Amino acid sequence: MAMKIDAGTCSVCGACEFECPNVAIRMKGDSFTINAKKCNECEGHADTPQCIEVCPSDSIVQA
């Protein structure tokens, strides 16, 4: 299952984009989005999704 960014609470800091080992997070317009086809919740890279770990506004949730 992929992660999702709540654009309403996202501070657009970009921390999640740089932590994603699958390059699944990109800026689209004026907010970030997660490509569900690329997101595997960091399986094989970390025990927990790294985007959640670094998000200062807790805007990333499981889709």
What is the rounded average pLDDT of the residues 27-56? 96
pLDDT at 24 over 90: yes
Label each residue of 3-33 as H, E or C.
Answer: EEECCCCCCCCCHHHHHCCCCCEEEECCEEE
Options 3.30.70.20, 3.40.50.10070, 3.40.30.10, 3.30.420.40; CATH for 3-62 is 3.30.70.20
Burial 28-46 (b: 16+ CB within 10 A, else e): eeeebebeeeebbbbeeee
Partners of 33 in beta bridges = 26
What's the predicted TM-score (pTM) here?
Answer: 0.91
pLDDT at 36 over 90: yes
